[in-house]
Amino acid sequence: MARKAVYESLDFERLDISEQQQRSDEFLQRMLKRRSVRHFSSEPAPISLIENAIRVAGSAPSGANQQPWTFAVISDPALKRKIRLSAEAEEKESYERRMTPEWLEALAVLGTDWRKPHIEDAPYVIVVFRQAYGIRRADDDQDERVMHYYSDESVGIAVGFLLAALHISGLATLTHTPSPMKFLAEILGRPANERPFVLIPVGYPAEDAEVPVISKKALADIMVRH
Ligand code: IYR
């Protein structure tokens, strides 16, 4: 039986134009400083920052508000090691056999390879899972599948929120997608409806961290007006 929508008045703070512009400029300048980091220090970071960032991610819009995501936070060194070794095994196979010459050529500007020490060095690894479908306990105590809508888009938006929140709180991140990623669900014992979406090492950059010299497209190259 369909449930009915219940409405309440919107809590919306209308700002002066000058305040809007100032916040927009500040956010832009801050976000422009985000870089994907591959050299992490092992210095611990407060779990409260990770928790708040996941709260931010959990506030993202999602298809039918189904919130089809799970954020696994790993700090246990033995588990991080296990994940690193499995990721490296898959990545070695990918770099040496599965990726096309065109793909390797496209990646050359980043200088990446199959080695993933950052998975062990960073104090936290967040593995984001997409719930391909939901599970509901029916009246007869049997589990029923609940259809999820737009779960890829929803989780992508939530990960964007997560990366921005971690950056704003002074932490460095890397979006890493070892392929295939199924080993993550196995190692972390996730249920059958959850698919690994992205693996994110989080922490402070190493003292001598370096990043590739790359640039972002200009506004004129990414925006069209109609
Ligand atoms: N998943 C591999 C390869 C890789 C692919 C893309 I597309 C990147 O932007 C970066 C890396 C790896 O993490 O090394």
Per residue in 170-197, pLDDT (tens digit) is: 999 999 998 899 999 999 999 999 999 9
pLDDT in tens, 132-184: 999 998 888 899 999 999 999 999 999 999 999 999 999 999 999 988 999 99
Q: Quick check: CB of 118 below 6 Å from ligand 1?
A: no
Separation of alpha carbons 203 and 41, rounded Å: 7
Q: What is the pLDDT of residues 81-120, one digit of tens each?
A: 999 999 999 999 999 999 999 999 999 999 999 999 999 9
Cα 112 off chain centre by:
19
Q: How far is the CA of 109 from the centre of ligand 1 (A)?
A: 11
CB-CB contact of 130 with 152 (8 Å): yes
Q: Which residues of 126-144 are buried (b: 16+ CB within 10 A; e: fewer)?
A: bbbbbbebeeeeeeeeeee
Binding site membership of 179 for ligand 1 (Cβ less than 6 Å): yes
